[in-house]
Amino acid sequence: MAGDGKRFQTWRGSQKERKELARRLKSDDPGLDVVHPDAAGIDIGNASHYVAVSPQRDAEPVREFGCFTADLHRMARWLQQCGVKTVAMQSTGVYWIPVYDILEEYDLEVYLVNAKHTKNLPGRKTDVQESQWLLKLHTYGLLRNSFRPPEEIRTLRTYWRHRAEQVQGAAECVQRMQKVLTQMNVQLANVISDLSGTTGQAIVRAIVAGERDPHRLAQLRNYRVQASEEEVARSLQGNWRKEMLFALRQELELYDFYRQRVAECDRQLETELKQWPARDTAPVLEDKEGKGGTGNPRKPRRKPTGNLPQFNLAGELERITGVDLTRIDGVDLMTAQTVVTEAGLDMSCWKTEAHFVSWLGLCPRNEISGGKVLKRATRHVVNRIATALRMAATTLLRSQTYLGAQYRRLRTRLGAPKAITAMANRLARLIYRMLKHGNQYVDKGLQYYEEKYRAQQIRLLRKKALQLGYDLTEVAPATS
């Protein structure tokens, strides 16, 4: 191998011959242990897929198959004829999903790998070479399988993600309605906080119905609006342009359409959740250290409004998980539902909570060179659970709980961005423990955290004083 490499560096041939020699060098046995002897590699594409198997298994080891369902079944049968038991393919767009499903029907173990893990070496310029490279890496066990939840979780996840898209569409309609009103100099957004609320929708629907009197429109104001009726009336004096009223009417109709679709998604979610078996509800564990009060009672449930599902989502989640994730301060129903739909209920897919946090991209990635840590930044991971937990962490700023005190301490020391990531890490670990071990979360309280932090600082000061040859003496507080 070394001689061939030296000859390749000094040999002067055509570009085609040099590429052929480089490809032959890379095709030699690298001396690794074969982990998956019955392997295949698939290069996923839009119109066709290239499949590579070992040359000892078929006279034509690389074949191209179309994207139609019949072609995918033919691909799976050919792999079975070749004695293939495990297949590696990249997660390219959404084109891999039907291939994955059909290969699972034929009892083939599918490795869905990250494309970043297969593009570390140059020279793979064609789809054929890409499929062969995947085959080689997978044969020697150099690829890591990505997490994919079970079928029932994937069904629930599809409903939840589609619902989020409908909610986003409705929010964009509200923004466009506000833009139209501003163009007519109707400054309603300056006196009410939310155009999609009770007052905003009542006024907008009255305007679309033909009402132009600002005082009559102001009478639709809800009693909870802080602005007075006179202020609302002054904000409703504008230029009623017909083209803008036309656009406002269409946006309102589109908003109603999206809300109807959200309600349909809620009904599908409720039906799907009711089919899941119940899990034994875990008892609330008391504070064994005897500090921090009585723990946190169940949070008062707010009436489902806005974007919350219009059914008893809290009861269904507690029934199927056996725990109440909303006991964790900062975690609401939307966050808990996102965790269940994206990660599922089986936490055994991750060996420890550290593996779970690493999968979310909420832990530092130490880049070490020469025994020195060069970078500690977290990996750039697009994960819906991590995003939801970061948003949950931001709500702890004014929380008078253990987690709230911890977040404020981290925010003072590290700054807001790092503190948010650190608290999202903390929330992820708590959720992992609850779902895996079935224990309810108990908040020890703000006072317990402050006492614990004070005792920790005293220990550190005593240690530092001993290192300097001094001793600390506790002084009684002065009485006035």
Domain ranges of the chain: 1-25, 32-139, 152-274, 313-456
Gap between the Cα atoms of 245 and 381, Å rounded = 43
The sign of the dihedral angle between the CA atoms of 134, 139, 140, 145 is positive
Helix 15-26 to helix 2-10 angle (10° resolution) is 170
DSSP strands (E only) in 366-412: 367-369, 372-375
Gap between the Cα atoms of 326 and 318, Å rounded = 9
What is the model's pLDDT at position 282?
62
DSSP assignment letter at 328: S
Q: Do residues 84 and 134 lie in contact, with contact meaning Cβ atoms separated by under 8 Å? A: no
Q: Is residue 344 classed as helix, strand or coil in its secondary structure?
A: coil
Gap between the Cα atoms of 403 and 381, Å rounded = 25
Q: Which residues pair with 42 in a beta bridge?
A: 51, 89
What is the model's pLDDT at position 304?
46
Distances from the Cα of 218 to the Cα of 178, 215, 225, 298, angstroms: 17, 5, 11, 39
How many CA atoms lie within 13 Å of 233's alpha carbon, on the beta-carbon side? 9
DSSP assignment letter at 141: T
Gap between the Cα atoms of 289 and 444, Å rounded = 10
Gap between the Cα atoms of 339 and 146, Å rounded = 17
Question: Which CATH architecture is the domain 32-139 placed in?
Answer: 2-Layer Sandwich (3.30)
> Which amino acid belongs to residue 11?
W
- Is the pTM here over 0.95, yes or no? no
Gap between the Cα atoms of 92 and 47, Å rounded = 13
* Radius of gyration (C-alpha) of the chain in whole angstroms: 30
Gap between the Cα atoms of 224 and 199, Å rounded = 9
Let me know if 105 is exposed, middle or buried by CB neighbors in 10 A (0-12, 13-18, 19+).
exposed
Q: Do residues 128 and 102 lie in contact, with contact meaning Cβ atoms separated by under 8 Å? A: no
The tokens describing 345, both together, are: 């209920």
Q: How many CB atoms lie within 10 A of CB 338?
A: 23
**Residue recorded with tokens 């977290």:** 378
How many CA atoms lie within 13 Å of 135's alpha carbon, on the beta-carbon side? 26
**Range 288-304 burial, b when 16+ CB lie within 10 A, else e:** eeeebeebbeeeeeeee
Closest CA to 406 of 429, 385, 427: 427
What is the model's pLDDT at position 22?
56
424 φ, ψ (degrees, to nearest 5): -65, -35
Q: Is residue 421 classed as helix, strand or coil in its secondary structure?
A: helix
DSSP assignment letter at 59: S
Q: Is residue 367 classed as helix, strand or coil in its secondary structure?
A: strand
Which residue numbers in the chain have pLDDT < 50? Answer: 1-12, 25, 286-295, 298, 300-304
β-pairing, 62-66 vs 86-90, is unpaired
Gap between the Cα atoms of 295 and 407, Å rounded = 19
Gap between the Cα atoms of 41 and 142, Å rounded = 13
Gap between the Cα atoms of 65 and 81, Å rounded = 15
**Residue recorded with tokens 């006024």:** 203
Gap between the Cα atoms of 111 and 39, Å rounded = 10
Distances from the Cα of 142 to the Cα of 56, 281, 352, angstroms: 21, 41, 22
